Structure 1
Amino acid sequence: MIITDTHTHLYSEAFDDDRHEMIQRAIDENITRFFIPAIDSTYTEAMLQLEKDFPNNVFLMMGLHPTHVKENFKEELKHVEAMLASRKFYAVGEIGIDLYWDKSTLQIQIEAFKHQIALAKHYKLPIVIHCREAFDEIFEVLEDVKHDNLFGIFHCFTGTLEQAHQALSYNMKLGIGGVATFKNGKIDKFLNEIDLKHIVLETDAPYLAPTPYRGKRNESAYLTNVVDKLVDIYGISYQEIAEITTQNSKDVFGI
């Protein structure tokens, strides 16, 4: 049995004291595939080192995170372009729009988002979308650029059932993690109305730890708690959840 964490920041400073042990804890739980989103150029070296340390388990994305779209965003996008041209990545991500922290950068966030979607189309790669308080803005962009060759994952999906169906209409799968285990997470109330073929698992470690670790540092091993929750929601076995969601991740990332 293989479980796939489709979104985990294993290079984060939060893991500097025990990174290898933390990854081994996940592997011991059959979580053996880790897809690593980019944030900005300052993390690239750490991501490449992670891949060297765990070449059979770690798969890298490349992109500019929307909260890091600042005055120098065009320079950062050139770094993304150069990296995508230089070697294999498995997705363009995480990219998108975040209006929780700073609404003043909306226009340059949209510009960076569209630019990176174009890169994904060029390289025939999936996109991994970060959306925080920006569903309308994200959907507006996706409506503008939608195409049969545009596909990917709506990372950390926290929207409504209606928004879930809209995301799926753009060839996106839904990234489901710790929020599904929260008492006020809401998505657990309708997730059984979404076919499991549209779902991939993620932790977003070190963020968004599932119950009973909520508020603490998240790690990829805690994905087992998310699987347990989906067992309750879908009424099928742990192994079936693992197999179906891992196959879904292979369909997206091509590996």
Structure 2
Amino acid sequence: MVLTDTHTHQYYETIAHKRAAFMERCLSNNINRLFLPNVDIASVSLMFDLVRAYPEQCFAMLGLHPCSVKENWQQELNSIRDAHQQNKIYAIGEIGIDLYWDKTFLKEQIDAFRQQINWAKSLKLPIVIHCRDAFNEVYEVLQQEQDENLRGIFHCFTGTVEQAHKITGLGFYLGIGGVVTYKNSGLDKVVAEIDLKHIVLETDSPYLTPVPFRGKPNESSYLIYIAQKVAELHQTTVETVASITTENSIKVFGI
């Protein structure tokens, strides 16, 4: 059995022995593939450090997170792009629109999102989308940019069945994480109605920790609890969920 964490910031742990212990716990739970998105220029080196330490398990993305889009976003994005020249990446992400914390830079967020979508298309890479309180805004951009090169993952999906179908209708996968294990989230009912062929798994470590560790820092090894919950919702085995969602991740990332 091979499980794939399609979205983890596990690189924030920089102490070598703790990082090694994290990875050991991942492997013991059959989580053998970790895809890492940076969020800004400062996190690029942390991410690539982990990739270099575990090249068989860790795979990099590059992008400018919408919450990192400020007045100087173009300069920061240019610096992030420069990092691509020396390093292999498998997606552009995480990118998107976030209106939960601050609406000040909505126009800039949309411009940065669109620019990075076109960067991904030029590289023939998938995108990994961050969307918070901005479904309509994100979906509008995706509709405008839709073509045969636009593909990827809608990270941390927590929306409705209708929204899920809109996303999968564009050819995107739904990233399902720890929220599906939360008793009153309602995401469990949505995931139960979505075919596994549209789903990939993620932790978003160190955030959104699944039950039974909710309230503590998340880590990629906890992906097993998300897989177990999805298996329960679909009345199937964890092995089946692992097989289908890992195959979906291979289709997205090409590895």
Q: How does 1:55-66 map to 2 (within 5 A)?
A: 55-66=55-66
Is residue 44–residue 80 contact of structure 2 (8 Å, CA) maintained in 1? no
Q: How does 1:91-102 map to 2 (within 5 A)?
A: 91-102=91-102
| 4+ long deviations beyond 6 Å | 14-17
Residue deviations 1:129-153 (CA, integer Å, cap 9, x gap): 0000000110111111111210000
Aligned to 1:202: 202
Residue deviations 1:168-196 (CA, integer Å, cap 9, x gap): 12211000010000012211112122110
Give the match's secondary structure for 2:104.
Answer: helix
1:11 aligns with 2:11: yes
Displacement after TM superposition at 1:15 (Å): 7.0
Give the match's secondary structure for 2:11.
Answer: coil
Displacement after TM superposition at 1:6 (Å): 0.3
Structure 2: distance between partners of 1:133 and 1:36: 23
Structure 2: distance between partners of 1:15 and 1:227: 28
Is residue 207–residue 217 contact of structure 2 (8 Å, CA) maintained in 1? yes
Q: How does 1:16-55 map to 2 (within 5 A)?
A: 18-55=18-55
Displacement after TM superposition at 1:14 (Å): 8.3
Is residue 13–residue 19 contact of structure 2 (8 Å, CA) maintained in 1? no
Give the match's secondary structure for 1:34.
Answer: strand
Q: How does 1:103-182 map to 2 (within 5 A)?
A: 103-182=103-182
Displacement after TM superposition at 1:64 (Å): 0.3
Aligned to 1:190: 190
Amino acid at match of 1:37: P
Q: How does 1:60-79 map to 2 (within 5 A)?
A: 60-79=60-79
Unaligned runs of 5+ in 2: none
Is residue 4–residue 202 contact of structure 2 (8 Å, CA) maintained in 1? yes
Is residue 14–residue 206 contact of structure 1 (8 Å, CA) maintained in 2? no
Aligned to 2:227: 227
TM-score computed with the length of structure 2 as normaliser: 0.97
Amino acid at match of 1:91: A
Q: Percent identity?
A: 52
TM-score computed with the length of structure 1 as normaliser: 0.97
Displacement after TM superposition at 1:46 (Å): 1.1
Displacement after TM superposition at 1:68 (Å): 0.4
Give the match's secondary structure for 1:41.
Answer: coil
Structure 1: distance between partners of 2:55 and 2:14: 21
Between 1:39-48 and 1:198-207, the stretch displaced more is 39-48
After superposition, the CA RMSD in angstroms is: 1.3
Structure 2: distance between partners of 1:92 and 1:13: 22
Displacement after TM superposition at 1:13 (Å): 4.7
Structure 2: distance between partners of 1:24 and 1:221: 9
Change (3 A) 1:14 1:107: farther
Amino acid at match of 1:144: Q
Give the match's secondary structure for 1:107.
Answer: helix
